[in-house]
Amino acid sequence: MATFFGEVVVAPSRAGLDEEEEAREETPEDREIRREIEKKRYRQRGEIREREIQVLWSCAEESLVCSRFIVAIGRNAAAFLSSFILDSVCWEVIGVVKLWNEWCRTSSSTNVLPTDSFCLFYRLISDPTVLLCQCSCYVAEDQQFQWLEKVFGSMQKKGLQVTILSTCPVADYKTQESTLTLVSPFLKALKTKEFQEQVCCPLLEQPNIVRDLPAA
């Protein structure tokens, strides 16, 4: 339960339930919908299931030491990183995410190349514990848990600070004043109670929420 509005809390999720427990709770209609989705997604490309998310790293470490991890989700956020942070020789590509869904098909190549993926990981050369992620592709709802599990499963969690950058249309912003008078773009923040540093912008007001992969 949140102690204040704007705090990010971990909610119960069905994403981690095993298949047997999940099947007991499904109705016949749910099972039919699931089968139809599986027919569309579980097509074979060689021996790789297209629905499966693959995280490929160029580094040999079993667990990446990371102090700060900045994730830009969506094309606008990814473009912001490209223009203001990555536009230098201070970063190196160290990994990619391969995935397939109704809106995104990445290459089946196993090489870590920027041209093969819409989701790239960068490491700061001067400080290898600082990582960036550009995720400009769509991650489906039933793939978000797998994305989080595989990406963060490769990192050491102790002392890790995660910053998420994402955007949404001004028309979706809920406020008592007219959105036509708002100066856009503008920045709002959500944070966990563990984040003790000063927030660089005002907190997001009620009843606005964050959705999809940024929320996950």
- Tell me, yes or no, whether 30 lies in a domain: no
Please report where in the chains the tokens 């797998």 appear, as a residue: 146
What pLDDT was estimated at residue 158?
A: 85
Which of 15-29, 37-51, 79-93 is most confident? 79-93
pLDDT of 42 > 50? The answer is yes
Residue 191 lies in a domain: no
> Which pLDDT belongs to residue 166?
93
> Is 70 inside a domain boundary?
yes
**Host domain of residue 70:** 54-166
The tokens for 140 are: 């489906």
Q: What's the rounded mean pLDDT across residues 204-211?
A: 88
pLDDT tens digit string along 92-144? 999 988 887 767 766 554 444 444 457 899 999 999 999 999 998 888 888 89
- The pLDDT score that the predictor gives to residue 47 is 38
Q: DSSP letter at 6?
A: T
Question: Is residue 71 one of the residues assigned to a domain?
Answer: yes
> Does a structural domain hold residue 13?
no
Does residue 15 fall inside a structural domain? Answer: no
The verdict on residue 141 lying in a domain is yes
Contact 42, 49 (CB under 8 A): yes
In a domain, 122, yes or no: yes
Looking up tokens 């990192």 gives 155
For tokens 């093969």, the residue is 116
Q: How many domains does the chain have?
A: 1
Question: How far is residue 101 from each of residues 38, 71, 104, measured CA to CA in Å?
Answer: 11, 21, 5
Helix (H) or strand (E) holding 155: none
Higher pLDDT, 44 or 13: 13
Please name which of 87, 137, 133 lies closest in space to residue 117, comparing C-alpha atoms.
Answer: 137
Cβ neighbours of residue 61 under 8 Å, at least 6 residues apart?
none
